[in-house]
Structure 1
Amino acid sequence: MNAVLIEDEKLVAREFAFKVAKLDAGVTIVQTLPSVKTALRWFGENAEPDVVFADIQLGDGVSFEIFQQYKLSCPIIFVTSYNEYAIQAFKVNGIDYLLKPVDPNDLQRAIAKARSLIKAKPVLPANLQELIKVLQQPGSAPKPAYKEKFLGNARGGWVPIDTAEVAFFQHETLNFLVTRNNERYTLDYNTMDEIEELLDPAQFYRASRQFIVNIDSIHSVKSLENSKLILRLRPPHQTIEIDISRQKAPMFKRWLDR
């Protein structure tokens, strides 16, 4: 049973691989993926494994971003230090949710569950298997597609705006788009979550419930004593300060420091 491990800490990854090998010699971890970016590229260029072991919080985002781009049919076993993502995990083919440090008995039961699900899968016809292999060759898988333009509302009409020209998105009763030139438009999206799903996570960051910011618009970051961060933008938006919570601060630092 071939497995992929998504884990950004090398020591943790080695220890987990050792634990898996000790519990079940039939499981081989064929690849360890340390980031969302690396995982997106790997799943776009390789055949789907039999099972995925995935941490949730990675240096450049959360692993759910991977499974939103690639709808995997294989079982996913989440291994994390955080218990607040359990419901979301089971929406993306998750079959188990293990908290670190992982109990060997829980891990063994999760592997057994994955194995039983794999055995229960219907066998595809040979010609369909060959077609899937061809489609999974490098260059044949679709690239993650992100929105290239937004339509901003302007006096009863619309203005097309390149996504690259957006400085930030802001929620104030309505959802707004603000360009690098400080042009401001309302958008026909009900929530910021809808907008966030359309954006490249390497370029845009959900700094708070009210703001999604373009990395190229960030001027500086100030650290406060309570571990919160204050994000300051480049001119002409230098008067805007965006609070980043203590909980989001470590993830934001990793996203910015690439």
Structure 2
Amino acid sequence: MASTAPITALIIDDEQLAREELKYLLDTAGSVEVLAQGSNGVEAVELIREYQPDVVFLDVQMPGLDGFAVLKQLIEHRDLIPQIVFATAFDQYAVRAFDVNAIDYLLKPFDRNRVLQALDRVRLRLQEMNGSEAEPAKPAGDLNIDTLLRLIEQQQASPRPHSGKIVLQAQSRLLLVDQKDICFASIDEGVISVVTPTLEGQSKCRTLEELLELLDPNLFWRAHRSFVVNINHIKEVVPWFKSSYQLRMDDRKQTEIPVSRAQTRRLRELFKL
């Protein structure tokens, strides 16, 4: 690739707003040609095989295959491996991204200067590859394929630390919220709403189980199949019918949340009732 040729790129992210934001930043950066976009890991593998781009901006958390699983599948099948820039709303994945030898990572919401820095790293790496006549089939960095595959398997098997922040979508904005500020989360018809004392937004998670994986288990408790509560934001425990209880939260509406019969014992343990 000549030094003046544009970098060819793919954007893979299950959030349309995130794809559009990154596409805009790449277009305004200049010398970047976005060949295609995908919304999940399966599409990522297909598009990488079809277009063989210089770089893929790859979301970590996606339905089907996550970003690490995409890379693992490409390696297992000895496909051409482009440069990888992982994108994530959670900084807990940054170290994991570098552990599997990604060339860079971007935190959401995207920062223009960080996108430009990532592009500079991609250009430098491509120049090094061309200058040393390196095989484009090798992944970013100097690890061989078998070593990289073992690293990815170790990363996927290791427990993930709980991030201090959760990303919420409120209208057209993507907001980072401290876990300690979350009062409760609820699910209704597949949509997860998260409430803090000052705002309400929606989580990109598909299930409460998926959301709970991101939350500190010392703070958050699934009081009901449709509700997860932060025990530090329970304002009052209200006795209810037939030895059941409701929780009055300290959000602006002082929402009352039912405690399922299966969780009544846990409630009594928590508050010594």
The TM-score with structure 1 as length reference comes to 0.47
Higher relative contact order (CA 8 A, sep 6+): 1
The TM-score with structure 2 as length reference comes to 0.45
